[in-house]
């Protein structure tokens, strides 16, 4: 069963990564209503940024894990995702009137990308045993 799931994910990983990237872009530039989940967490949107970019980068790491050289994988993939987050924050300030770019959002995105790389390196060892 796990091997079947593994094959399905591997066949569709790049498509999932592209779709996740598009989804993050759309959500970042559209007028999304504020959600109050009632936890009373200050700067709760920073957690959402962290989770979104942690997930996005995990998907990209998985999609490209065997397709590019390790040096490119460890440097350029995180760098590209960090720039993507920065560009989206800039676009929020520049082309929308209902969203504002925030340096702390970009920082949360960056931390999500970096933490994802560290976690993914540990998980991939287990994954290869399946």
Do 113 and 82 form a contact (C-beta atoms < 8 A)? yes
Do 54 and 113 form a contact (C-beta atoms < 8 A)? yes
Predicted pLDDT at 67: 82
Predicted pLDDT at 121: 82
pLDDT tens for residues 76-129?
Answer: 999 999 999 999 999 998 888 888 888 999 999 999 999 999 998 888 777 777
pLDDT tens for residues 7-52?
Answer: 888 888 999 999 999 999 999 898 877 666 555 555 668 898 999 9
Give residue 47's domain range.
2-33+42-127
Q: What is the mean pLDDT of the chain?
A: 86
Number of domains in the chain: 1
C-alpha R_g of the chain: 16
Predicted pLDDT at 37: 58
pLDDT tens for residues 42-85?
Answer: 566 889 899 999 999 999 998 998 888 877 778 999 999 999 99
């Amino acid at each position: 069963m796990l091997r079947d799931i593994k094959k399905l994910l591997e066949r569709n990983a790049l498509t999932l990564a592209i779709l996740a990237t598009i989804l993050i872009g759309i959500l970042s530039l559209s007028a999304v209503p504020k959600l109050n989940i009632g936890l009373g967490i200050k700067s709760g949107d920073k957690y959402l940024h962290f989770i979104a970019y942690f997930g996005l980068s995990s998907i990209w790491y998985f999609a490209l894990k065997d397709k590019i050289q390790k040096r490119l994988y460890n440097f350029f993939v995180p760098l590209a995702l960090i720039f993507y987050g920065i560009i989206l924050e800039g676009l929020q300030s520049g082309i929308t009137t209902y969203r504002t770019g925030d340096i702390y959002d970009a920082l949360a995105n960056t931390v999500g990308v970096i933490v994802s790389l560290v976690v993914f390196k540990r998980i991939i060892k287990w994954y290869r045993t399946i």
